[in-house]
């Protein structure tokens, strides 16, 4: 907790100190440097505002120059028409918010991801550029002019940009150190798993685009203030954005100081060259050298020696003591000494008197012509552990996905505590009480084990510590470096961090050792004891049968058995389904 | 109207070549090359340089452009794509950054060598004849014929020869191909160089009908992305999308202000995307 606080405060202190020093000693900077400082800070500012969308929430979006242009043209129009400052400020931000949310809405309605999303944003950018150039009232290619007769324009602009850059870094820090940052990094890592942890992807992206877009408009306005005009070439030029994107990626996307480090690599020589000589050739040679340098830096950083690649991480690691390296082994060492696992099944007498946690009624699901689930019905009571078994391709995972809200069933009903959940989205179902884990444990690699769990905790300051203790997890560890076992337990802890009515575990034991099986199952029993109904999908029937109150068997999408383990496993139909007898009969 | 249709066909067939090179590399090799536009523009400058300064016949210069395109692709593969394979995750992200850097680098080099001005061949539009009442410019006709022949040959090679089939299967089942002894890394290299040669050819042909400037790399890249995605990364789809894009552009340009026309083309593209969204499975589109 203390270190968290320090991590939160420290950047603010540094930021305030740097800001103070810069502003105090500003008069010492020679006048001829001012233009270079302005062009540098312009790039740095855009890198930081873009980092919110491109780095933290991970959308390689190229439409940011549209925000920039909204600011630039907005400023010139406001200045020439002498509109009230507050009003025009509000209008610009409003316009940015509308454009940002519209962009997210369109992209997610079209289901665009990855390269398609990047292309889409490029197209939107080119579209906006064509519209701006084609609109007479915006001045076409010449743009709009508002000449400012201020002799100190470069100095004043540089000053404005210093304030803006500090603001942008502050906003980045605020996001990264709040729950927003956790959610956004989770969306970047794995949108499906984020949805299954109650994160509404579209809503978070809209917030990110609106914040980042609004900030970006300020940069455009400040640039227009400095230049005295807004032109398609400068206000909508893609080269500035490309430099910003490169800076963010070289320094470490989604980190607080990444954009700064990347900026140092990508910017400098060209500016210095332009300061020293008015010859375009010199500037071009400087550019070529600089891009080559950036290339080499990225090349060195992304080789295997730096698997934790990014300049930002590199610098962090230099200062970090090696105290934490042993924790993974230590953690497993601790866990490998299990106390006596309670092998006896829980007392079943009480289960019949408990209420139903979930009712699944007549679920049928077809994929194209293939019927994957056919009239599957069962109920599960609070605190009950049910094993869902069946041969490969029986429809187990599809059933999990139907319950979790990934697929909509063709017919059937699912009730949770008497309320139908069929019309809820995956995050809504999570909030309502359905949690699930995935076949291959899906933790968020950008987050530590502790942060993975904190993602789903609401208003309970001690809950994370409790869970870490209960599951004996190394909280500080980067989840991407964790062994499979730790990732599994992290995923389970994340799923049940807030009270859940139903927990679905998809093959929680796969890839683990027998000792670890016991430990996972013990945790499952503890979860059930707290009143959560647990469904375990597993192939290791004998192992899970020990903790299950009931077994449900699926075969070819049909529920063929439902009852106590001892009874179900002796059932001829069940044995036949596993050994393929029924298929022989069909043939 | 017929005249516009013909110009659209000619420019569309060049767009088709540009997008096919990009699609081969992305669709089969799953490699993103944002420097594709830069290779095309390098092809354009090659033809310009050889024809105007060294008096090469234009179509011999186009042949050289093919070789130059392949060589530039070879270099890009060596310095950018191979390192990106070394990382198990985020290979696309690495490729995007590397090739973005290369695009910026090549644009700066073009600017240094050829200045930022628009340059064009002197013989452009000189040579034309009338056919069915339509003014046919010979460079456009040749570009169209060459593009169609090359595309047809490439399609036949990929579809009907063992080599072509192997190439496609290597992209689809990389690990299994590796297991049965296909030299996977060589196949990908071949694919990438082939993409570069197509870009060089497209650039060479484009130079015979349009002027060139260093900044073109970005707009050419957009054409490649747009056509490749509208054509759903399939060979025939990209062919049709490329030609249609060319025709739409020329026709709209003659009817409206050129910027309005560009805007309309992008709206049409968005409509194509949403149309696909309604009538196709999601999975086919998720590439990156």
pLDDT for A135-162, tens place per residue?
888 888 888 888 777 777 888 888 889 8
Backbone angles phi, psi at A377, to 5 degrees: -135, 135
The answer to whether the CB of B143 falls within 8 A of the CB of B6 is no
Q: Is A419 helix (H, G, I), strand (E, B) or coil?
A: strand
Say yes or no for a CB contact (<8 Å) between A114 and B92: yes
Q: Do B105 and A291 touch (CB under 8 A)?
A: yes
Percent pLDDT > 90 in chain A is 18
Q: If pLDDT is split at 50, 70 and 90, which confidence band does A52 have? A: very high
Given this model, what pLDDT does residue A270 score? Answer: 67
Q: How many residues can be counted in chain A?
A: 587
Please indicate whether, in this complex, the C-beta atoms of A133 and B259 are within 8 angstroms of each other: yes
How far is residue A194's CA from residue A425's CA, in Å, rounded to a whole number? 12
d(CA A95, CA A69): 11
> Cα torsion for A223, A227, A229, A231, to the nearest 10°?
-70
- Give B109→chain A minimum CA distance, Å: 7
- pLDDT reported for residue A545: 86
> In chain B, what's the furthest Cα-to-Cα distance?
59
A585 pLDDT more than 60: no
Phi, psi (5° rounding) for residue A363? -75, 125
Report residue A267's pLDDT band, with 50, 70 and 90 as the boundaries.
confident
Least confident range from A463-467, A477-481, B70-74, B192-196: namely: A477-481
Which of chain A's residues have a Cβ under 8 Å away from the Cβ of B104?
Answer: 239, 242-243, 246, 287, 291
CA A364 to chain centre: 33
B265 vs A41, more confident: A41
| Residue A123 confidence (pLDDT) | 85
Cβ density class B140-155: b for 16+ within 10 Å, e for less: bbbbbebbbebbeebe
Q: Which residues contact A451 (CB under 8 A, 6 or more apart)?
A: A182, A444
Q: Which of B26, B79, B101 sits opposite A294 (nearest CB)?
A: B101
Taking the C-alpha atoms of residue B138 and residue B144, their distance in angstroms, rounded to an integer, is 10
C-alpha span between B68 and B63 (Å, rounded) = 9
- Which ipTM was obtained for this model? 0.82
Q: Does the beta-carbon distance from B260 to A134 stay under 8 Å?
A: yes
Residues of A in contact with B277 (CB under 8 A): 109-111
Chain B residues closer than 8 Å to A287 by CB: 104, 108
SS3 A8: helix
CB A259 within 8 A of CB A251: yes
Supply the pLDDT for residue B46: 95
- Report the gap between the CA of B262 and the closest CA in chain A (Å): 6
Residue A103 near residue A63 (C-beta atoms within 8 A): yes
H helix or E strand, kind and range, residue A334: helix A327-335
- Tokens describing residue B120: 């064009």
The three-state DSSP-derived secondary structure of B67-79 is HHHHHHHHHHHHH
pLDDT at B288: 26
Residue A308: pLDDT over 60: no
A407 contacts in B (CB within 8 Å)? none
What's the token pair of residue A202?
A: 């579209």
How many other C-beta atoms are found inside a 10 Å radius of the C-beta of residue B53?
8
Q: Is the pLDDT of residue A586 over 70?
A: no
At A119-132, the pLDDT tens digits run: 888 888 988 988 89
User: DSSP code of B25?
Assistant: I
- Helices B138-160 and B235-255 meet at what angle, rounded to 10? 160
Show the domain range for B153: 2-285
Region A405-433: what's the mean pLDDT? 88
- For residue B70, give how far its alpha carbon lies from the nearest alpha carbon of chain A (Å): 21
The contacts of residue B53 (CB under 8 Å, 6+ apart) are none
Q: Write the CA distances from B279 to A100, A110, A351, B153, B274, integer angstroms.
A: 27, 12, 48, 31, 9
Mutate to test the interface with A, among B108, B241, B257, B281 (most CBs of A within 10 A): B108
Query: Is A50:A217 a contact under the CB 8 Å cutoff?
Result: no
Nearest to B32 among A106, A115, A304 (CB): A115
Which run of H or of E encompasses B128? Answer: strand B128-131
For residue A303 the two structure tokens come to 């080789």
Judge: A281–B112 Cβ closer than 8 Å, yes or no: yes
Instruction: Tally the domains of chain B.
Output: 1
Average pLDDT score over residue span A312-323: 55
CA–CA dist A157, A42 (Å, integer) = 10
Is A112 near chain B, with CB under 8 Å? yes
Residues 6+ apart with CB under 8 A from A211: A52, A171, A175
**Pick among A293, A295, A298, A481 to test the B interface (most B CBs inside 10 A):** A295
Distance from CA of A272 to the nearest CA of B (A): 17
**A335 pLDDT higher than 70:** no
Kindly indicate the confidence band of residue A336, based on its pLDDT and cuts at 50, 70 and 90: very low
The residue with greater pLDDT, B280 or A164, is A164
Q: How far, in Å, CA of A366 to CA of A370, rounded?
A: 5
The CA distance from B152 to A273, in Å, is 50
Q: Please, what sign has the CA dihedral across residues A566, A567, A568, A573? A: positive
Phi, psi angles (nearest 5°) of residue B212: -130, 150
Query: Strand A434-436 and strand A502-506: pairing?
Result: parallel
Name which of A103, A98, A102, A125 is nearest A59 in CA terms. A103
- Are B101 and A120 in contact (CB < 8 Å)? no
Question: Cβ of B96 and A60 within 8 Å?
Answer: yes
What b/e readout covers B24-35, taking b as 16+ CB neighbours within 10 angstroms? bbbbbbbbbbbb
Helix (H) or strand (E) holding A45, with range, is helix A34-50
**Six-digit token string for B193:** 């160089």
Token code pair at residue B125: 């539009």
Closest-CA distance, B111 to chain A, in angstroms, reads 8
Which pLDDT score, from 0 to 100, does residue A584 have? 43
Cβ contacts below 8 Å, chain A against chain B, sum to: 115
- DSSP symbols for A244-279: HHHHHHHH-TTSSSHHHHHHHHHSSHHHHHHHH---
- A509 three-class SS: coil
What is the nearest CA distance from B107 to chain A, expressed in angstroms?
Answer: 9
Winning range, highest mean pLDDT, from A146-155, A165-174, A193-202: A165-174
- Please provide the DSSP assignment of A364-414 as one string: EEEETTEEEEEEEEEEEETT-EEEEE-STTSSHHHHHHHHHTSS--SEEEE
Q: Are A68 and A236 in contact (CB under 8 A)?
A: yes
pLDDT in the model for residue A274: 67
Give me the residue from A111, A115, A288 closest to B109, CB to CB.
Answer: A288
Task: Give A577→chain B minimum CA distance, Å.
Answer: 31
Preferred mutation among B29, B265, B273, B277 to probe A, highest tally of A CBs within 10 A: B273
CA B33 to chain centre: 11
Q: Are residues B229 and A288, on separate chains, in Cβ contact within 8 Å?
A: no
Asked if B285's CB is within 8 angstroms of A116's CB, the reply is yes
Count Cβ neighbours within 10 Å for each residue of A515-538 and write b for 16 or more, e otherwise.
Answer: ebbbbbbbbbbebbeeebbbbbbb
3-state secondary structure of A237: coil
Beta carbons of B97 and A111 less than 8 Å apart: no
For residue B146, give the DSSP letter: H
Contact: A114, B225; criterion CB under 8 Å: no
* DSSP for A61-86, written as a single string: ---HHHHHHHHHHHHHHHHHHT--HH
pLDDT value of residue A350: 46
pLDDT at A323: 41
Predicted confidence at residue A268, as pLDDT, reads 66
- Residue of A109, A127, A303 with shortest CB distance to B266: A127
Taking the CA of residue B17 and the nearest CA in chain A, the distance in Å comes to: 19
> What pLDDT does residue A101 have?
94
Q: Which residues of B touch A131 (CB under 8 A)?
A: 259, 263
Residues of chain B whose pLDDT is less than 50?
280-288
Domain CATH for B91: 1.10.3470
* Chain A residue numbers touching B112 (CB-CB < 8 A): 281, 284-285, 288
CB contact under 8 A, A116 and B257: no
First to last CA, chain A: 64
Q: What is the pLDDT of residues A78-108, one digit of tens each?
A: 888 877 888 888 999 999 999 999 999 988 8
CA neighbor of B42 nearest in space, from B21, B10, B23, B64 = B64
Which of A47, A106, A97, A45 is closest to A70 using CA atoms? A97
Q: Which of A46-50, A176-180, A444-448 has the largest mean confidence?
A: A46-50
Of A115, A291, A304, the CB nearest to B288: A115
- Confidence check: pLDDT of A499 > 90: no
User: What domains are there in chain A, each with its CATH number?
Assistant: 33-241 (no CATH), 349-586 (3.40.50.300)
Whole-number Cα distances in Å, A164 to A29, A42, A167, A171, B87: 18, 9, 5, 10, 36
Distance from CA of A378 to the nearest CA of B (A): 31
Quote the minimal CA–CA distance from A405 to chain B in Å.
17
User: So what's the pLDDT on residue A349?
Assistant: 41
pLDDT, residue B76, reads 94
Q: Map tokens 């910026």 to a residue.
A: B104
Helix-, strand-, coil-residue percentages of chain A, each rounded to 5: 60, 10, 25
Is residue A116 within 8 angstroms of chain B, CB to CB? Answer: yes
User: From the list B93, B263, B282, which residue is nearest A130 (CB)?
Assistant: B263
pLDDT in tens, A233-252: 888 888 889 889 989 988 88
Does the pLDDT of residue A401 top 80, yes or no?
Answer: yes
Among A176, A344, A144, residue whose Cα is nearest residue A252: A176
**CA–CA separation, A449 vs A512, rounded Å?**
18
Which residues in chain B touch residue A115, judged by CB atoms under 8 angstroms apart?
Answer: 26, 32, 92, 287-288
Check if the beta carbon of residue B171 is closer than 8 Å to that of residue B30. yes
Report CA torsion sign: A83, A84, A87, A92: positive
The answer for A 258-317 residues in CB contact with B (under 8 A) is 281, 284-285, 287-288, 291-292, 294-295, 298-299, 302-304
Residue from the list A115, A134, A249 with its beta carbon closest to the beta carbon of B97: A249
CA distances from B163 to A27, B166, B174, B199, B233 (A): 69, 5, 15, 22, 20
Q: What is the pTM of this model?
A: 0.84
Quick one: residue A525, left, alpha or beta (phi over 0 = left, psi -120 to 50 = alpha)? alpha
- Summary mean pLDDT of chain A: 82
Q: Do A295 and B101 touch (CB under 8 A)?
A: yes
- Chain A residues with CB inside 8 Å of B282's CB? 111
> Does residue A187 have a pLDDT over 80?
yes
Q: Which helix (H) or strand (E) holds A586?
A: helix A581-586
Backbone angles phi, psi at A361, to 5 degrees: -125, 115
């Amino acid at each position: 907790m203390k270190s968290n606080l320090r991590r939160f405060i420290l950047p603010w202190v540094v930021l305030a100190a740097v800001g103070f020093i810069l502003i105090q000693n500003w008069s010492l900077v020679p006048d001829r440097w001012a233009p270079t400082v302005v062009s540098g800070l312009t790039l740095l500012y855009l890198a930081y505002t873009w980092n919110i969308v491109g780095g933290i929430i991970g959308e390689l979006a190229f439409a940011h120059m549209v925000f920039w242009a909204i600011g630039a043209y907005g400023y010139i129009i406001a200045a020439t028409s002498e509109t009230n400052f507050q009003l025009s400020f509000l209008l610009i931000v409003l316009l940015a918010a509308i454009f940002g949310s519209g962009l997210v809405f369109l992209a997610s309605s079209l289901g665009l991801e990855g390269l398609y999303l990047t292309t889409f944003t490029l197209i939107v950018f080119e579209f906006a550029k064509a519209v701006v150039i084609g609109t007479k009232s915006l001045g076409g290619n010449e743009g709009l002019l508002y000449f400012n007769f201020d002799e100190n324009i470069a100095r004043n602009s540089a000053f404005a940009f210093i304030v803006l850059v500090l603001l942008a870094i502050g906003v980045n820090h605020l996001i990264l150190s709040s729950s927003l940052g956790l959610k956004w990094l989770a969306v970047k890592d794995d949108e499906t798993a984020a949805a299954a942890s109650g994160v509404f992807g579209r809503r978070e992206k809209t917030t990110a685009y609106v914040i980042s877009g609004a900030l970006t408009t300020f940069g455009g306005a400040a640039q227009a203030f400095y230049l005295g005009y807004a032109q398609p070439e400068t206000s909508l030029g893609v080269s500035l954005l490309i430099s910003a994107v490169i800076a963010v990626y070289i320094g470490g996307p989604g980190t607080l100081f990444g954009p700064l480090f990347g900026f140092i690599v990508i910017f400098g020589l060209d500016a210095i060259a332009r300061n020293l000589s008015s010859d375009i050739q010199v500037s071009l040679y400087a550019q070529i050298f600089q891009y080559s340098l950036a290339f080499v830096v990225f090349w060195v950083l992304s080789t295997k020696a730096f698997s934790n690649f990014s300049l930002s991480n590199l610098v962090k690691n230099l200062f970090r003591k090696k105290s934490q390296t042993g924790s993974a082994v230590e953690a497993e060492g601790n866990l490998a000494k299990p106390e006596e696992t309670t092998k006896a099944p829980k007392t079943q007498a009480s289960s019949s008197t408990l209420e139903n946690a979930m009712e699944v009624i007549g679920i049928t699901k077809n994929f194209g012509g293939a019927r994957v689930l056919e009239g599957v019905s069962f109920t599960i009571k609070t605190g009950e552990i049910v094993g869902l078994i069946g041969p490969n391709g029986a429809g187990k995972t599809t059933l999990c996905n139907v319950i979790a809200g990934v697929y909509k069933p063709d017919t059937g009903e699912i009730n949770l505590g008497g309320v139908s959940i069929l019309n809820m989205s995956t995050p809504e179902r999570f909030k309502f009480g359905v949690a699930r884990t995935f076949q291959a444990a899906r933790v968020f690699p950008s987050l530590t084990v502790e942060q993975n769990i904190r993602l789903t905790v609401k208003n309970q300051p001690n809950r994370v510590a409790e869970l870490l203790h209960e599951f004996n997890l190394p909280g500080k560890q980067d989840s991407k470096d964790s062994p499979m076992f730790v990732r599994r337990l992290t995923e389970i802890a994340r799923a049940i961090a807030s009270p859940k009515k139903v927990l679905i575990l998809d093959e929680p034991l796969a890839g683990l050792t027998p000792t670890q099986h016991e430990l996972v199952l013990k945790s499952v029993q503890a979860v059930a004891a707290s009143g959560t109904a647990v469904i375990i999908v597993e192939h290791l029937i004998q192992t899970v049968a020990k903790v299950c109150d009931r077994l449900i068997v699926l075969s070819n999408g049909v529920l063929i058995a439902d009852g106590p383990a001892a009874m179900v496993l002796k059932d001829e139909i069940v044995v036949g389904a596993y050994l393929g007898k029924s298929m022989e009969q069909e043939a | 109207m017929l005249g516009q249709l013909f110009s659209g066909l000619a420019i569309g067939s060049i767009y088709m070549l540009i997008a096919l090179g990009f699609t081969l590399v992305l669709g089969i090799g799953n490699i993103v090359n944002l420097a594709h536009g830069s290779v095309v523009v390098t092809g354009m400058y090659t033809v310009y340089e050889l024809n105007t300064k060294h008096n090469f016949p234009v179509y011999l210069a186009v042949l050289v452009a093919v070789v130059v395109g392949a060589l530039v692709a070879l270099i890009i593969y060596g310095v950018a794509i191979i390192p990106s394979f070394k990382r198990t995750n985020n290979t696309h992200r690495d490729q995007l950054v590397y090739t973005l850097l290369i695009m910026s680098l090549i644009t700066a080099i073009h600017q240094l060598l050829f200045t930022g001005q628009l340059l064009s061949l002197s013989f452009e539009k000189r040579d034309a004849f009338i056919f069915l009442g339509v003014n046919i410019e010979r460079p456009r006709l040749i570009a169209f014929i060459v593009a169609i022949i090359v595309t047809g040959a490439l399609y036949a090679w990929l579809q009907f020869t063992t080599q072509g089939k192997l190439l496609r299967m290597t992209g689809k089942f990389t690990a299994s191909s590796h297991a049965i002894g296909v030299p996977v890394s060589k196949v990908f290299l071949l694919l990438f160089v082939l993409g570069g040669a197509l870009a060089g050819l497209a650039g060479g042909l484009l130079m015979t009908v349009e002027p060139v400037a260093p900044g073109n790399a970005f707009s050419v890249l957009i054409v490649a992305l747009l056509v490749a995605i509208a054509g759903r990364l399939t060979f025939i789809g990209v062919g049709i999308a490329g030609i249609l894009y060319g025709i739409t552009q020329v026709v709209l340009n003659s009817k409206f202000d050129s910027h309005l026309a560009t805007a309309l083309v992008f709206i049409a593209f968005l409509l194509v995307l949403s149309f696909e969204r309604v009538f196709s499975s999601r999975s086919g589109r998720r590439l990156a």
